[in-house]
Structure 1
Amino acid sequence: MIREQLKGSNFMALNENQKLFLSLINEYAAEKSQGEQSVVVLKKRMEELRSELEVANVELENVKRVKETTEQELKGCEVELSLNETAIQTLEARISVLQGEIASVGSELDSLKVEGGATRDQFINHLLDLNKKIRKFQDQLSRKKAIESVGNAAEGSHELEGDNTTASSQSIEERLIKVMTQLANEEEEFLSAEQIQKSANVDKSGEKEGCDGDDGERNKRIGKFD
């Protein structure tokens, strides 16, 4: 009876040990399977990370090249900016010089305008004076012709008077030639002064109208001589 109980106890203990052993085997197998699955997952993840690393390295190289290109462009822009600043300073200095020259030319132009106006008035006054002299000479020539006509009618009795008239006629002609020469010289001087004034007025847009008005007035006043 006791032996049977002992055998039953041993059998039960053996069954329990077997169950425990089987349970441990199953747990080991399950853990091994899970470990293998984890290894597969980790390997797959490692491959993904390697691919991502390669992509990141390529992007890094691209970024480095872009950085180098940008730095070179920046240096070029800095050089260009420096050159532009130098050019601006040069242009500002040139503009300052030109402004000074413009002011100087403006002063000279004003002086020439005043001088040209005085010269023009002086020339017109000379023309008026010479016109009076010419009219006077014309009157004298008319009288000379009348005297010559009278002398031809009475040539024998007025021989001495005819000689004096001839001498007077020659004197008048010489004076007339002298006056006409002086008139031509005065006109040449006036045209020279006028040409200088027109050259000085090239940069003045409104000066041409003023000169045309003065020429019209001069022509109007000269027209009185005819």
Structure 2
Amino acid sequence: MSSSNSQKEILTLIRDVSTEKSQGERRVVNLKRQIEELQSELESVNAELEDAKRLKECTEQDLKGCEVELAMNESSIQTLEGRIALLQGEVSTIGSDLEALKVSEDICFVAGGFRFMCMLIKCLCFEIAWTCWFINLCEHAFRMKNGLCDDFIGKMFDLNAMIRKFHQSVDSASYEAFSSKAVLQNVHTENAHTKQVEEGKKDLERELAQIISDTEKMEHEFLLEQNLHKQVRSSP
């Protein structure tokens, strides 16, 4: 009787040990699974941390770039302000010169000088055109028959007469331009001289309008730079 009881106790003990062993193995498996999950979460958190670090570095670099761009914009604004002030000074100076030229007698001499320069330019253009025409005539002459040479020579004489007449007109215009100051002081009521004065006035007015247009353009660029500067400062 006692031996059978002891065998039962041994069997019971073996079953208990086996049960505890299987339960322990299951707990070990569960713990391993939890460890793997925690490691996976740790890797994910580390990856997010690295992304956050890279984002921080990029943000810092962007911030430095914005600071550099802001400094450059401030320098550009100062430069534009200086240029606008300079253009405004030039506008004031030209406006004063325009008012002075409206009542000055010397503008007639300036207009005569303009006429002389125009005549010189026309003379140069005429000489160039004459040279081209002469070359074409020479080429044509070499292609002509002997019976047409007299016609070519006649054309050359006519051309020389035209050139002499043109040079005489240039000399006359030169004399008129350089002597117009003394003459025009007593003939301000002549329509031709009045027209010259008006042309000089219109030239100055066109120059003034161009400078005003440049000033408005610079002011527009300055306003754009100011708006960009404000946007950069107001951005987070």
TM band (smaller chain): 0.3 to 0.5
* Higher gyration radius (CA): 1
Q: Which has the higher contact order (CA 8 A, sep 6+)?
A: 2
